[in-house]
Structure 1
Amino acid sequence: MSAPPPPPPPPQWVLDLESAGSTKPKNSPLPDPPGYTASLTRKERAQSSKVAAVRKAPTPEEMDTLKMKKAWELAIAPAKQLPMSAIGMYMTGNTLQIFSIFMIFTLFKTPVMAVAGLQRTFAPFDTPGTSGRLIGVKLVYILMNLVGLALGIWKVNQMGLLPTTRSDWLAWEGERTWSERAVPREWL
């Protein structure tokens, strides 16, 4: 029988951790955490953090790119609220209640206020390098808010509050009479 092969040598990081000098007191029962080097003095640690903190300032082109990315995120944000608003509209039902009134009020108020404050919203992103490209972003922002407004109009129509028939506008027009009914008139 042959002897088992010797174990492989430990990785370099294990050797580095084991070779670092320890300055902790002898009476401490806790071992140092992995990667801790107590050999650095406070001054050396402060200098190394300063070197890590110093970074190259971004160029104006990089800043304009970052501002445009942030502006696009802001322009698409109203569309991200639409699914939640649609779920809220579904949950409130088509009857006239305080909850549905508040939801509809919010659906109308939010887009109108957002479009009214358009310049103030995009003012932080307006630089000479981005002013021409911001027009498309602002148009998308307005469009997304109009979709939210359309959701509110749809909900009001579902509730029967929009005047969509002739009898809503003309006093002498009567309600539509149905030639057939699914249930007898007495049940209604």
Structure 2
Amino acid sequence: MSEDLAPPRWAVELNSPPVPRTKATIPDPPGYTAASSGNKKQIASSKTPARTAPTTEEMDTLKLKKAWEVALAPVKQLPMTAIMMYMSGNSLQIFSIMMVVMAFKNPIMGLVATNQAFEKFDSDGTRAALLGVKAVYVAMQVLALALGVWKVNGMGLLPTTRSDWLAWETARDAIETAIPAF
């Protein structure tokens, strides 16, 4: 009966910590730096030089590259927006109306926030080159607005004929009329 009162093996192992393994048996993987382990001898014997701080010219070059990425970001959205607008059709439905609202809202908000989008890249060395980047950004936002105007024109919401402006002109007669049957 004394054997039944002894705790099970798993309970004994749970209360005692495992035996630590020695690191000497496993070599460090290639590219491992000892800085994370805290071993001072390995850190001192490391042959990698310390990284030097970038110069202001290098920082200005990097800032301009990032500014160009921000300036060209609206163009990357144009193909998908154009496909979505084409697929939504030209009838007045909630989906096509939402597409038109988004087609105008995003570029207008981008134009309003032009200086805010580029203020993190502004420095004495980049100020002159940043004007050209901002001009490209504005041009890309205007191109996105043009896509919205194309959609509104396709929906027939732009007043492009004389009868839209003059009260005495008659509206064009439709060549075909579709009447849904119930």
Number of aligned residue pairs:
154
In 1, distance between residues paired with 2:51 and 2:24? 32
Relative distance call for 1:60 and 1:97 in structure 2 (3 A) is same
Does the residue aligned with 1:54 lie in a helix, a strand or coil? Answer: coil
Letter matched to residue 55 of structure 1: R
Match of 2:98 among 67, 82, 102: 102
How far apart, CA to CA, are the structure 2 residues paired with 1:186 and 1:100? 20
Query: Letter of the aligned partner of 1:100 in structure 2?
Result: S
Report the residue type matching 2:41 in the other structure: E
For the structure 1 residues 136 and 48, does the alpha-carbon distance in structure 2 shift closer, same or farther, using more than 3 Å as the test? farther
> For each residue in 1:86-117, what CA deviation from the matched residue of structure 2 results, as whole angstroms up to 9, or x when unmatched?
01111111111111111111110111111101
Name 2:40's counterpart in structure 1: 43
TM-score under structure 1 length normalisation: 0.71
Per-residue CA shift, 1:124-156, capped at 9, x if unaligned? Answer: 111000101111100000000000000000000
Which stretches of structure 1, 4 residues or longer, exceed 2 Å deviation after superposition?
31-37, 40-49, 51-54, 185-188
Percent sequence identity is 53
Tell me the distance in 2 between the aligned counterparts of 1:172 and 1:44: 94
Q: In the alignment, which residue of structure 2 is the partner of 1:72?
A: 68
In the other structure, the counterpart of 1:123 is 119
Partner of 1:161: 157
Q: Give RMSD over aligned pairs.
A: 2.9
What TM-score results when the alignment is normalised by the length of structure 2?
Answer: 0.73
Q: Distance in 1 between matches of 2:24 and 2:31?
A: 11
